[in-house]
Amino acid sequence: MKRCVFALLLAAFLAALLVLPARGSDLAGEVEAAAPEAAQGLSGDDFSGGLSAIWEQVREGFGGLLRQGLSGAVQLLVVLVLCGIGETVFVTVEGKRTFNYLSLAAVAAVVAVSAGEVDQLIGMGVETIASLEQFSKSLLPALAAATAATGMAGSAAVRQMATVLFCDVLLTVIHRLLLPFLYVYIGALAAGAMLGDGRLEAIASLLKKAIAWFLGVLLTLFTLYLSVAGAISGAADAAAVKLAQKAIATAVPVVGSIVAGAAETVLAGAGLLKNTIGIFGVLAILATCALPFVRLGIQYLLYKAVAFVAGTVAPPGLVKLIGGLGSAFGLVLGMVGGCAMLLTISVLSSLLAIQG
Amino acid sequence: MIEQLKLWVLGLAATALLLGLADALVLQKGMKRVLRLAGGILLIIVLLGPLGRLGGLELGGALGDYQAAVEQRETELRLEQEEELSAIIETDIGEYIWDKAQEMGLDVTVSVATRMSSGGVPIPDRVRIEGAYHEELSQWMAEELGIEADQQIWQEE
């Protein structure tokens, strides 16, 4: 009798090993197939290997991105220095600092030099956000299914739907509000530099703060909601598990042993699957954002550096314009980072969730 | 809700821009003070305006939809989980019965169907056996696995 039960439990374990890898490899395979191009070749079984691969990718691309950024920065610096020299000559000749067409020309030159880069980088930011959104449509359901199989169906549903909702809100607001605000911000900066109007600069500053504030508030709300809702649904899941354990205990002994054994092997396999999908998800998000982050970060730092260096020779309005354009890159970085953080928080929350 | 949020923020930005323009156009100090006072009040009205219109109705509707979506997803996930567990249990119990039949010298094909118990656990509901009826096996199933005679379907090949 005991040998039969043991044999049956062993059969259950082996059957589960056959069933779960088939289903698990389906789920994991779907997520890997849907991953963005930058994440191809990564694996959920090797986190440190994945990080090394991403680091190599960044290291190889860094030189080229820096050279690209430096070329634009040098052009800006030349414009600023020439403008500074021109304005000094003008003031010396005219004897006073007044409105002159040199400022208009200088701002137009700065905008002409940086317009291409600004447009390209905003476009790159939008593409990265779109890639993340597309990837999340495979990652979130697969992670929810794997998490549910560990006995946390309630928490898995809450995490997935909350992430989808907040992602939708963030993407809609980015496309319809924040990106238009960003262009208005750049326009206000340029107009303020041309006219020397402090109020336009104040409006630009307000827009910048509004964009940064919105991103920060949304992420904070999402994290808070996930923590609270996750805890509540986690408690409900734990209650459901206790009820199931009681049902197993009161079942016919042989049937109870089979059910318990099957549940244990499902749990173990699902735990592994959840970790594999979750780790791959985090690596894919990092890989997708790595080069865009580096590029935007380089542009932000270079523009701030140019503003700092040219601060001694160029007119203050132009220096503020350059600094403001650097901040625009920072805002795009913030938007991309916001989307990446939202997904990463959701994935990590699933990975770290432990059945009560 | 997103549309309302967008309109609110755009309205606020437009009001601020217009007030800024008006402030730039008015040159007399006295008029400037009056304009700034009126502009400040207008800005506060625009800022707080949507709160009065919300009334909790549309917000409640959006939250209700979200809650329904969460519950639906939870149901889907639980069903997937139950199906997976049921499949394993059906296979295992079927193999257990088949092993026992082999011990008794019977050549049968066994398939098991489960149902969810009140505790949310799959338990055997019916067994279909393709082979001649065997009383000893039938009694064994009833005693060992709790599968009574009326839950057993015997089909002679």
For A35-91, the DSSP string reads S-GGGTT--TT-HHHHHHHHHHHHHHHHHHHHHHHHHHHHHHHHHHHHHHHHHHHHH
Neighbours of B39 (CB within 10 A): 17
DSSP A185-197: HHHHHHHHHHHT-
Q: Confirm whether B71 is domain-assigned.
A: no
CA angle A174–A179–A180, rounded 5-degree value: 125
B121/A156 CB distance under 8 A = no
**ipTM greater than 0.85:** no
Report pLDDT for A6.
42
Between CA B65 and CA B87 the distance in angstroms is 33
With contact defined as beta carbons under 8 Å apart, do A142 and A27 qualify?
yes
Mean pLDDT split into 10-residue runs, chain A, 356 residues: 45 41 66 85 85 91 91 88 80 61 81 88 93 92 88 87 88 86 88 78 85 89 87 82 76 79 82 88 93 93 91 84 92 93 91 68
Strand B109-116's sheet: what is its strand order?
Answer: B109-116, B122-130, B152-155
Angstroms from B97 CA to nearest CA on chain A: 10
pLDDT value at residue A19:
39
Rounded Cα–Cα distance for residues A150 and A241 (Å):
10
Q: What was the pLDDT predicted at B110? A: 93
Please count the other Cβ atoms lying within 10 Å of the Cβ belonging to residue A321. Answer: 30
Count Cβ–Cβ pairs < 8 Å, chain A vs chain B: 132
Alpha helices in chain A (DSSP H): 2-34, 47-94, 101-149, 153-173, 179-195, 198-250, 253-310, 316-352
- pLDDT tens-digit series, residues A121-160: 999 999 999 999 999 999 999 999 888 888 888 888 988 9
Does the distance separating the beta carbons of B146 and A248 come in below 8 Å? no
| Best of B36, B66, B73, B127 to mutate (most A CBs within 10 Å, chain A) | B73
Contact A108, A321 (CB under 8 A): no
pLDDT at A178: 87
- Residues B76-131: pLDDT tens digits? 988 888 888 889 899 999 999 999 999 999 989 999 999 888 777 888 899 999 98
CA distance A5 to chain B (A): 9
In a domain, A55, yes or no: no
pLDDT at residue B12 greater than cutoff 80: no
Report how far residue B77's alpha carbon sits from residue B83's, in angstroms, rounded to the nearest whole number.
Answer: 10
Indicate whether A203 belongs to any domain: yes
Contacts of A7 in chain B (CB under 8 A): 99
Name the pTM for this structure. Answer: 0.78
- The whole domain housing A326 covers 69-352
CB atoms within 10 A of CB A98: 8
The C-alpha torsion from A300 through A301 and A302 to A303, rounded to 10°, is 50
Interchain CB distance below 8 Å, A8 and B144 = no
- Residue B135 resides in a domain: yes
Domain membership flag for residue B87 = yes
- Determine, yes or no, domain membership for B67: no
Label residue B4 by pLDDT band (50, 70, 90). Answer: low
The answer to the question of residue A44 being in a domain is no
Q: B7 CA to chain A: closest CA distance, Å?
A: 10
The pLDDT, as a whole number, for residue A95 is: 60
Counted residue by residue, chain B has a size of 157
Mean pLDDT of B42-47: 78
Least confident of A101-105, A229-233, B47-51, B144-148: B47-51
Domain assignment present for B74: no
Query: What's the pLDDT score for residue A328?
Result: 93
Domain that holds residue B35: 2-54
Query: How many distinct structural domains can be found in chain B?
Result: 2
Query: How many Å apart are CA A187 and CA B70, to the nearest integer?
Result: 42
- For B19, the closest chain A residue by CA position comes to A199
Minimal C-alpha gap between B157 and chain A (Å): 27
Whole-number Cα distances in Å, A116 to A31, A52, A69, A222, A294: 35, 33, 12, 35, 18
Does any domain span residue A21? no
Q: What is the CATH number of the domain that holds B138?
A: 3.30.300.30
pLDDT in the model for residue A25: 62
- Decide if B102 is inside a domain: yes
Amino acid at the residue A75 = Q
Q: What is the pLDDT of residue A59?
A: 93
Residue B76 in any domain: the answer is no
- Taking the CA of residue B132 and the nearest CA in chain A, the distance in Å comes to 24
In a domain, B30, yes or no: yes
pLDDT mean over B61-79: 84
Query: Are residues A248 and B120, on separate chains, in Cβ contact within 8 Å?
Result: no
Q: What is the predicted pLDDT for the residue at A8?
A: 45
Task: Based on the fold, state whether residues B147 and B87 are members of the same structural domain.
Answer: yes
- Who has greater pLDDT, B89 or B50? B89
Does the residue A54 lie in any domain?
no
How far is CA A356 from its chain centroid?
30
Number of domains in chain A: 1
Q: Is residue A62 part of a domain?
A: no
Q: Mutation test of the interface with chain A: which of B121, B125, B147, choosing the one with the most A Cβ atoms within 10 A?
A: B121
Write down the pLDDT at residue A17: 39
C-alpha A231 chain-centroid distance: 24
Distance from C-alpha of A285 to C-alpha of A277, rounded to nearest angstrom:
12
Nearest-CA residue of chain B relative to A233? B74
Question: Which of B81, B92, B123 lies closest to A8 in CB terms?
Answer: B92
Residue A50 in any domain: the answer is: no
Nearest Cα to Cα of residue A60 among A70, A52, A71, A69 = A52
Give the per-residue pLDDT at B23: 80
**Does a structural domain hold residue A291?**
yes
List, for residues A295-345, the tens digit of each pLDDT value: 999 999 999 999 998 888 888 888 889 999 999 999 999 999 999 999 999
Contact B89 A8 (CB under 8 A): no
Q: Which residue of A has its CA nearest to B82?
A: A149
Q: Which of B2, B25, B81 to mutate against chain A (most A CBs within 10 Å)?
A: B81
